[in-house]
Amino acid sequence: GQQLNQSPQSMFIQEGEDVSMNCTSSSIFNTWLWYKQDPGEGPVLLIALYKAGELTSNGRLTAQFGITRKDSFLNISASIPSDVGIYFCAGPQMRGATNKLIFGTGTLLAVQP
Amino acid sequence: DGGITQSPKYLFRKEGQNVTLSCEQNLNHDAMYWYRQDPGQGLRLIYYSQIVNDFQKGDIAEGYSVSREKKESFPLTVTSAQKNPTAFYLCASSIAGALRGYTFGSGTRLTVV
């Protein structure tokens, strides 16, 4: 079945640094979603991408829908302590029950003040 | 404001007891989902429901049961058959197709002693 692999698994950075993470799949996705999960809370949608090549920003966050439709990237500029959390990519399953999202394995981000 | 509510936030139970986790949404979403998250891990799908009075098993349904008698409600029962029930449980909902992603609740942390 479809799987999403995220890298890196974890990142430990200093406040002010830029962050890059990516999500890859062996199959095509028509939509890419990026979520952030604060410690002890549910994930919250950050950015949604619907078109190959699309580049979308949300404040200090920028995400891109890969041209091959098999990958997506999330960048965070000038990180701050509240950026701490787990970042998940996700995309709708292409076969069977299309209501189901496939979630990536997550990237844990730690920011040291 | 519309949203999805999970209760309680923290739940403690003795081993061998069944326990029911509540999930209510007022977003008028057709589909609802239950995920399990273990420390430092990703999201694993337990059950999902695309419409009232219908639900399907996810990847780790053993030891769990659900019902969907109302559109707004999708309670999850963790039975005594679940071998390792201590975890963080997340409920989510979506419109049909999930192209706009899921809306998650804030989670219930279940500890079985």
By Cβ distance, the residue of A90, A97, A105 closest to B101 is A90
Chain B closest CA to A100's CA: distance in Å?
Answer: 7
Provide the residue-wise pLDDT of chain A in tens; the chain has 113 residues. Answer: 668 999 999 999 999 999 999 999 999 999 999 999 999 999 999 999 999 999 999 999 999 999 999 999 999 999 999 999 999 999 988 766 566 899 999 999 999 99
Give CA angle at A102 (B88, B98), nearest 5°: 95
pLDDT of residue A97: 59
Chain B closest CA to A110's CA: distance in Å?
Answer: 13
Looking at residue B8, what DSSP letter applies? -
pLDDT of residue B41: 81
HSE of A54 in the Cβ direction (CA atoms, 13 Å)? 14
Residue B59, number of CB atoms within 10 A of its CB: 12
Q: Which residues of A touch B94 (CB under 8 A)?
A: 99, 101
pLDDT of residue B59: 92
Q: Which residues of A touch B106 (CB under 8 A)?
A: 41-42
On whether any CB of chain A is under 8 Å from the CB of B45, the answer is: yes
Element (H, E) at A22: strand A19-24
By Cβ distance, the residue of B43, B50, B102 closest to A97 is B50
SS3 content of chain A, % helix, strand, coil (to 5): 5, 50, 45
- Which residues are paired to A21 by β-bridges? A74
Instruction: Profile chain B (113 residues) by mean pLDDT over runs of 10 residues.
Output: 91 93 96 93 93 95 97 97 94 86 96 93
Chain B closest CA to A3's CA: distance in Å?
Answer: 12
pLDDT of residue B37: 95
Contact of A45 with A31, CB cutoff 8 Å? no
pLDDT of residue A88: 97
Return the residue of B nearest to A99 by Cα: B97
